[in-house]
């Protein structure tokens, strides 16, 4: 149950991120090096970290817009249609002739764990000029989210613009990579999972003390507000005013593919700009991701606000 009420109004959210067509191979267990195994079945669905986050925000009633890029191909048409189906503004999704639409191959085992291989394609071909064309959109937002499936220099340009207009910026550093100089200075909140946090700070996440150490290292790197997600254990948070840990809801996971993205998208829809309701927003995000992992696929698994309220009433 939520401790108190979330705000009635949701945020205007802009997501700058990736659009991928996901191919999921369902297998009994992960292959060993050099081993050939048979897939039990194969499914295709819309995905990409950016798309997942945007759909999660939209299904939590955030007014959501997308900045991204696809190829001039059927996969690109498929991804734009998938966003529009959830009422997401796609006016700032550009189409390129230089690269194909991004894609991902997901190995999903019977325990619900996955390994993901991503082809960036049009996502990685994005240029910073798309951001100058999106200034009005960004300026009107409450929250701008980005991750590392699109070029960091594009995110940096977008975040600088967002800060000029007083817009909250949330960085999901996934997949983990060296953060380019300057990006954290225009980031209000960084949201890595435990593996990404270790990669970025060099400090292993084992307990609350080690999470505090990670937060201190991030502060030394220039970012004060941190959320570290730790899978089925929950989420740690640290801001300039408070820190704590919100436990996850215990469920049987079938597919964890979009869990972290659902968490971020749902959180972005509800959090206040001053983080005054951060614990409630985190509880809501945990509820959303707990439903996602019980379903198959990326976009199809993401719940609506109504489903979350019905499940955790």
- Run means of pLDDT, 10 residues per run, the chain, 313 residues: 57 97 93 95 92 98 98 97 97 97 93 88 96 96 97 98 98 94 96 96 95 96 96 94 94 89 97 94 97 89 96 91
Q: What pLDDT, on a 0 to 100 scale, did the predictor assign at position 118?
A: 86
Q: What pLDDT, on a 0 to 100 scale, did the predictor assign at position 5?
A: 52
Annotated binding-site residue? 149: yes
pTM value > 0.85 = yes
User: In 10 A of CB 244, how many CB atoms?
Assistant: 13
Annotated binding-site residue? 52: yes
Selection from 312, 293, 243, 303 nearest residue 113 by Cα: 293
Annotated binding-site residue? 21: yes
CATH class (in words) of the domain with range 12-18+48-100+124-311 = alpha beta
The answer to whether the peptide bond before residue 43 is cis (omega within 30 degrees of 0) is no
- In order of 48, 192, 277, the CA distances from 105 in angstroms are 11, 22, 37
Q: What pLDDT, on a 0 to 100 scale, did the predictor assign at position 4?
A: 45
Q: What pLDDT, on a 0 to 100 scale, did the predictor assign at position 91?
A: 98
Annotated binding-site residue? 255: yes
Q: What phi, psi does 208 have (nearest 5°)?
A: -60, -40
104 CB contacts (<8 Å, ≥6 apart)?
20, 21, 22, 23, 47, 48, 116, 117, 118, 119
- CA dist 67 and 77 (Å) reads 15
- CA dist 96 and 51 (Å) reads 18
Pick the catalytic residue from 212, 213, 261, 274. 261
Three-state secondary structure call for residue 147: strand
Strand partners, 238: 226, 243
Alpha helices in 225-277 (DSSP H): 259-270
DSSP structural state of residue 193:
B
Annotated binding-site residue? 297: yes
Contact at 8 Å (CB) between 113 and 106?
no
Annotated binding-site residue? 47: no
Strands 114-119 and 102-108: antiparallel
Known catalytic membership, residue 212: no
Contact at 8 Å (CB) between 145 and 264?
yes
The residue extents of the domains of the chain are 12-18+48-100+124-311
Strand partners, 229: 193, 235
């Amino acid at each position: 149950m939520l401790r108190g009420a979330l705000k009635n109004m949701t945020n205007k959210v802009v997501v700058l991120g990736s659009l991928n067509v996901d191919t999921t191979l369902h297998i009994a267990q992960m292959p060993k090096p050099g081993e050939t195994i048979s897939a039990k079945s194969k499914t295709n669905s819309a995905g990409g970290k950016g798309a997942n986050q945007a759909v999660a925000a939209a299904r939590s009633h955030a007014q959501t817009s997308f900045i991204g890029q696809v190829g001039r191909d059927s996969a690109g048409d498929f991804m734009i249609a998938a966003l529009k189906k959830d009422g997401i503004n796609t006016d700032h999704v550009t189409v390129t002739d230089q690269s194909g639409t991004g894609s991902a191959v997901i190995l999903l085992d019977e325990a619900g764990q996955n390994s993901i291989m991503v082809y960036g394609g049009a996502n990685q071909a994005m240029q910073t000029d798309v951001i100058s064309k999106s200034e009005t959109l960004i300026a009107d937002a409450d929250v701008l989210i980005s991750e590392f499936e699109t070029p960091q220099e594009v995110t940096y340009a977008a975040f600088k613009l967002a800060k000029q207009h007083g817009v909250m910026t949330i960085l999901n550093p996934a997949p983990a990579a060296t953060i380019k100089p300057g990006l954290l200075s225009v980031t209000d909140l960084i949201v890595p999972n435990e593996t990404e946090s270790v990669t970025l700070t060099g400090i292993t996440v084992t307990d609350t003390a080690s999470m505090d150490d990670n937060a201190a290292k991030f502060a030394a790197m220039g970012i004060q507000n941190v959320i570290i997600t730790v899978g089925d254990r929950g989420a740690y948070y640290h801001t300039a005013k408070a820190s704590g840990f919100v436990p996850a809801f215990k469920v049987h996971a079938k597919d964890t593919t979009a869990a972290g993205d659902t968490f971020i998208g749902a959180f972005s829809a509800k959090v206040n700009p001053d983080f005054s309701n951060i614990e409630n927003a985190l509880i809501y995000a945990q509820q959303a991701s707990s439903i996602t992992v019980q379903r198959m696929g990326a976009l199809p698994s993401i719940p609506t606000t109504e489903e979350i309220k019905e499940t955790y009433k």
